[in-house]
Structure 1
Amino acid sequence: MFQKLLHFLRNFYVATGLVLLVWMTFFDANDLPSQAQNWWKLRELESDVKYYQTKIKAVQTERREVLGNDKLREKFAREKYLMKKPTEDVFVIVDEQNEPLEK
């Protein structure tokens, strides 16, 4: 009788453990596919952070250069924003895809 009870309890715990493992793997809110998806999304966002940090550094460098000199500020405004004096005309030369030749 004691052997049958031990065998039943051992099978009960094994079965319960398997059911719990299956539940946590596929049906839980934090299941393995969701965890893998979140991990990939985190890696993608970390690479985006690196990209934007380099862009921020480039803009800060450009800003320091432009704000320090009046001639550079005027040149920057003319080239980047196509600003002009009232007596001037601005011509933008474009390629076949209607993109400016100088960027």
Structure 2
Amino acid sequence: MANNSSKYLKPFKNIFVLILVVFAVWMIFFDANSWLIHNELNSDIDELEIEKDFYKNEITKDKKAIKILSTEEGVEQLAREKYYMKKDNEEIFIIEYQDSIANKDKNEQ
């Protein structure tokens, strides 16, 4: 039995193998550029890439809205639909259904 355990410990008696194992453990767990820190930074990069894509989509939506609002008809449509403005010679009747009110509340949050 003692012979069996020394069979497994024999490679660790070699100084080069021992240094290699210590170096590998140091680089994986303790170094400033360790494998664990690299994994954490890679996950941060992935999250930031997702956030970047989200903001690119938002910029695209905003550019479309700006393009629409740069015309007189777009401004008038926004004023009528969102702020319920009207011209002097007309009346506006707002008809809302129960399901549209619930959807409107969800969109505003």
Q: Distance in 1 between matches of 2:74 and 2:101?
A: 29
Q: Residue type of the partner of 1:53?
A: K
Q: Is the 8 A contact 2:79 2:85 kept in 1?
A: no
Q: Percent identity?
A: 23
Verify: 1:35 aligned to 2:38, yes or no: yes
Q: Which runs of 5+ in 2 are unaligned?
A: 1-12
1:27 CA drift (Å)? 1.2
1:85 CA drift (Å)? 4.0
Verify: 1:100 aligned to 2:100, yes or no: no
CA RMSD of aligned residues (A): 3.2
1:95 CA drift (Å)? 4.1
Q: Distance in 2 between matches of 1:36 and 1:97?
A: 46
1:25 CA drift (Å)? 0.4
Verify: 1:13 aligned to 2:11, yes or no: no
Q: Which runs of 5+ in 1 are unaligned?
A: 1-9
Pairing partner for 1:62 from 62, 65, 70: 65
Question: Equivalent residue for 1:6?
Answer: none
1:36 CA drift (Å)? 1.1
Higher helix share: 2
1:93 CA drift (Å)? 5.8
TM-score by length of 1: 0.63
TM-score by length of 2: 0.60
1:28 CA drift (Å)? 1.6
Q: Distance in 2 between matches of 1:96 and 1:58?
A: 23
The number of equivalent residue pairs is: 90
Verify: 1:23 aligned to 2:53, yes or no: no
